[in-house]
Amino acid sequence: MTTKLNLSKSNKLFEEAQNLIPGGVLGIRRPYNFVVGEYPIFFDKGEGGNVYDVDGNKYIDMLCAYGPIILGHREKEVDDAVIRQIQEKGFCMSLTQEVQNRLAKKLRELIPSCEQSVFVKTGSDGTTAAIRIARAYTQKKKIFRCGYHGWHDWCVEVKGGVPEKLYEDIHEFHYNNLDEVTKLVETHKNDLAGIIITPIGHPLAHEVQMPKPGFLEEIRKIATHHKCVLIFDEIRSGFRFNLGGAQKELGVTPDVSVFGKALGNGYSIGAVVGKKEFMDMYREKAFISSTFFPNSLSQVAALKVIEIMEREKVIDKIKEKGTRFGKKVQKIISDSPVDCTLSGAPLMPFITFNKDSQNLYKKIRVDFYTELIRRGIFLQPYHHGYIAFRHSDKDLDYVADSIGETLDELKQKYL
């Protein structure tokens, strides 16, 4: 087994943070979402496909900041474009800068569902803005949801501080389960405003799922038949599966879509895009505004990211790397007696451990991710990973070999 990392400075900063920030750090970055005592809590810097913690430990970053890093950390072309905007024009003004129009035109060129755009800062902003469109357009209340859509009142998983009346009109169904959708429609069809779904299934701590044949097509038919608004939450899938989103890759076009994460390669931006008749709700029938939504830095970054992705054929190259990596890891897993599953390859790889009657899988999962972090591989036990453009074949070979060595060690320990 490998040696535990020196995390003394990270732990000291976390102890200090407990008195400054509720829980020290927020949400999914809290230690219990990783392996307590084994993972760092504070990073110092990132470069290319790597990150470094405050104690100087280096990792291959396969969590990619939970998805935004599509190119790499500190991507010089992107940062230089942002710096020029700061130095030559500024970015926070009472009125909008013209880069807004250039980005909106580019998104319209790329995304099948996009005729108009609204720019926001986060995925939660975007999904909430899309839900408001659906309700304003239909003048109805009920929303069917499938997937993680953020932290706002209507969709947050932890309900503390949220009155029931703020989510009582939200009804959840599971990915690839048309029977659940059909039953919901039978009950709520007269007040159905919209359906929001992640076109690629990625439920927390479970395997990444692709749509079964006909699943998304049937959801599209249901929305059309009942005259409700179909929303694709492409926060994770957008600009990874295709520059036009998973909708272009899969051939199913929603009415409204939400993009974010990879669009800015780390700069905070989200985009709600859709057909004009739906987006027009924000002319008069609905309201959206924020001091910081029009800030131009993230829009400048997004345009440069798209330019690089087109020029360098980034998605094709990530798919090539991810396919090679996925095949190698799948063979390792198939040859191992440790009961685990690889899903999400080539773009969002995730190794999960299958439940057993003795709940041994929980111990195996902890040991597996402990070994990976000690070997300098940054992944999350309950969330799929990502592959970035700056990950080299050497990086990915090292990750795959480490997975194989770790599974061998787990076999010796548990089986």
C-alpha to C-alpha distance for 400 and 330, rounded to whole angstroms: 9
Q: Is pLDDT of 134 > 80? A: yes
C-alpha to C-alpha distance for 397 and 237, rounded to whole angstroms: 24
pLDDT confidence of residue 326: 98
pLDDT confidence of residue 48: 98
Work out the burial of residue 290: count CB atoms within 10 Å of its CB; fewer than 13 is exposed, 13-18 middle, 19 or more buried.
Answer: exposed
C-alpha to C-alpha distance for 269 and 119, rounded to whole angstroms: 7
Residue 361 lies in a domain: yes
Work out the burial of residue 66: count CB atoms within 10 Å of its CB; fewer than 13 is exposed, 13-18 middle, 19 or more buried.
Answer: middle
Q: Is pLDDT of 1 > 80? A: no
pLDDT tens profile 21-76 = 999 999 999 999 999 999 999 999 999 999 999 999 999 999 999 999 999 999 99
Give the mean pLDDT of the chain. Answer: 97
Tell me which H or E stretch contains 44.
strand 43-47
Residues 59 and 88 in one domain: no
Q: How many domains does the chain have?
A: 2
**pLDDT band for position 415 (cuts 50, 70, 90):** confident
Residues 242 and 326 in one domain: no
pLDDT tens profile 336-384 = 999 999 999 999 999 999 999 899 999 999 999 999 999 999 999 999 9
**pLDDT band for position 317 (cuts 50, 70, 90):** very high
Alpha helices in 115-173 (DSSP H): 123-138
Q: Which of 382, 377, 349 is nearest to 365 (CA)?
A: 382
Which tokens go with 382?
A: 């309950």
**pLDDT band for position 7 (cuts 50, 70, 90):** very high
The last residue of one of the domains, among 311, 330, 357, is 311
Residue 1 lies in a domain: no
Q: Is pLDDT of 17 > 90? A: yes
pLDDT tens profile 232-291 = 999 999 999 999 999 999 999 999 999 999 999 999 999 999 999 999 999 999 999 999
Q: Is pLDDT of 95 > 80? A: yes
DSSP 8-class letter at 146 = E
pLDDT confidence of residue 224: 98
Residue 216 lies in a domain: yes
Residue 2 lies in a domain: no
How many residues comprise the chain?
415
Q: Which of 189, 211, 191, 185 is nearest to 200 (CA)?
A: 211
Residues 26 and 148 in one domain: no
**pLDDT band for position 205 (cuts 50, 70, 90):** confident
pLDDT tens profile 283-302 = 999 999 999 999 999 999 99
Alpha helices in 189-269 (DSSP H): 215-225, 246-250
- Residue 5 C-beta-side C-alpha neighbours within 13 Å: 28
Residue 86 lies in a domain: yes
Spatial CB neighbours of 231, under 8 Å, sequence gap ≥ 6: 127, 130, 131, 134, 194, 195, 196, 197, 254, 255, 256, 257, 258
Residue 255 lies in a domain: yes
The predicted model gives 190-201 an average pLDDT of 98
C-alpha to C-alpha distance for 129 and 126, rounded to whole angstroms: 5
Q: Which domain holds residue 198?
A: 76-311
Alpha helices in 226-295 (DSSP H): 246-250, 276-279
Residues 195 and 331 in one domain: no
Residues 209 and 353 in one domain: no
Residue 152 lies in a domain: yes
SS3 at position 170: strand
**pLDDT band for position 204 (cuts 50, 70, 90):** confident
pLDDT confidence of residue 261: 98
pLDDT tens profile 390-412 = 999 999 999 999 999 999 999 99
pLDDT tens profile 99-113 = 999 999 999 999 999
> Would you give the distance in Å from CA 270 to the centre of its chain?
12
pLDDT confidence of residue 103: 98
Share of the chain above pLDDT 90, in %: 98
| Strands 377-378 and 58-61, bridge-based pairing | parallel
Q: Is the pTM of this model over 0.75?
A: yes
